[in-house]
Amino acid sequence: MFVFSRSYRGPVKAIIVDMAGTIIDYGSCAPAGVFKELFYKYGIEITYEQSREPMGMQKRDHIHKILEMKAVSDKWEQKYGRMWTEEDVDRMYEDFIPMQISSLPRYNTMIGGVKESLEIARLQGIKIGATTGYNTEMTNIVADAIKEQMFRLDSIICASDVPKGRPAPWMILRTMQELNTFPPEAVVNFGDTIPDIESALNAGVWSVGVAKTGNMIGLNENEISNLSKDDLDVLLQKAYNSMYSAGAHYVIDGVYDCMNVIDGISKRLSLGEKP
């Protein structure tokens, strides 16, 4: 039997970014609010924390996860006199789609500094792809908004393009295929949710958590600016700890800080290190 090992010592070839809370929609507010409204429509009151907990997943899976929460499933049984079913999930997802689509235009502003940092990466020959838990119609709305802000993504893959969304690795692997980029060591994934981190680890790429601008804190830029430094530090520390505990190789405040991470990963790659 022959055993050998090899190590990739080349550059970072691709960055893959999540959308809401990572490059657009500071605070990932568009989906969180709609999930809360959706459950209210069905007579179930949920908290923003409950609406955000499964964030990053494909949206039907997200609804499913909320319904699996004991506090929510108990409310459903009290309301309807029975446990929820897969047919209920399907019905809620069908209702969710137009609600989310109508809300998206209000939340599609790119997060400050993100475009400039990604353009620096592109000048270094790094390709830039995006993944999202949105379906095709939602993704097209966001993609058009990003183009209007004069930024070009080399690939966009959504949950509808693959057999299973996050935490499965398929969106990342499909993006790598579209970008013709390999090995996994040469790819860095940025995302603001735990499923983002898990999908990156499952794909064998570098995982970078985004703590400040996305779902982990869940506040928009104005709300963040109104926090005291001490209060913000507490929220950031909790977000950093959660993302590192989930396995992130790095955690940063926002993608506007991405080049420091890319430089650090490049040095580690030169030494033959792997994710």
Instruction: Write down the pLDDT at residue 188.
Output: 98
| Each residue's pLDDT tens digit, 42-94 | 999 999 899 999 999 999 999 999 999 999 999 999 999 999 999 999 999 99
Spans of all domains in the chain: 14-29+109-270, 30-106
Cβ neighbours of residue 68 under 8 Å, at least 6 residues apart? none
Q: What one-character DSSP code corresponds to residue 262?
A: H
Q: Give domain 30-106's CATH superfamily.
A: Putative phosphatase; domain 2 (1.10.150.240)
- Which amino acid is residue 232, in one-letter code? L
- Cα–Cα distance, 60 to 270 (Å, whole number): 41
- Please say if the pLDDT value at position 22 is more than 80: yes
Instruction: Write down the pLDDT at residue 3.
Output: 78
Element containing residue 127 per DSSP (H, E): strand 127-132
Q: What one-character DSSP code corresponds to residue 195?
A: H
- Cα–Cα distance, 232 to 228 (Å, whole number): 6
Name the band, by pLDDT with cuts 50, 70 and 90, for residue 6: confident
Instruction: Write down the pLDDT at residue 91.
Output: 97
| Rg of the chain on CA atoms, in Å | 19
- Cα–Cα distance, 194 to 243 (Å, whole number): 7
Question: Which residues are marked as active site?
Answer: 18, 59
Q: Sign of the CA dihedral 152, 202, 178, 101?
A: negative
Question: Cα 24–163–193 angle (5° rounding)?
Answer: 35
- Please say if the pLDDT value at position 1 is more than 80: no
- Cα–Cα distance, 150 to 61 (Å, whole number): 32
Same fold for the pair 14-29+109-270 and 30-106: no
Sheet strands (E) in 134-228: 155-158, 187-191, 206-210
Cβ neighbours of residue 269 under 8 Å, at least 6 residues apart? 8, 9, 10, 11, 12, 185, 186
| Each residue's pLDDT tens digit, 103-139 | 999 999 999 999 999 999 999 999 999 999 999 999 9
Q: Is residue 208 within 8 Å of residue 252, measured between CB atoms? A: yes
Q: Is residue 145 within 8 Å of residue 108, measured between CB atoms? A: yes
Name the band, by pLDDT with cuts 50, 70 and 90, for residue 5: confident
| Each residue's pLDDT tens digit, 213-268 | 999 999 999 999 999 999 999 999 999 999 999 999 999 999 999 999 999 999 99
The two most distant CA atoms of the chain are separated, in Å, by 63
- Cα–Cα distance, 82 to 266 (Å, whole number): 55
Give the pair of three-digit tokens for residue 25.
């929609």
- Please say if the pLDDT value at position 172 is more than 80: yes
- Cα–Cα distance, 236 to 53 (Å, whole number): 17
Question: What predicted TM-score, i.e. pTM, was given to this entire model?
Answer: 0.93
Q: Averaged over 195-223, what is the pLDDT?
A: 97
The residue count of the chain comes to: 275
Q: How far is CA 257 from the centre of its chain?
A: 16
Q: Averaged over 178-195, what is the pLDDT?
A: 98
> CATH assignment of 14-29+109-270?
3.40.50.1000
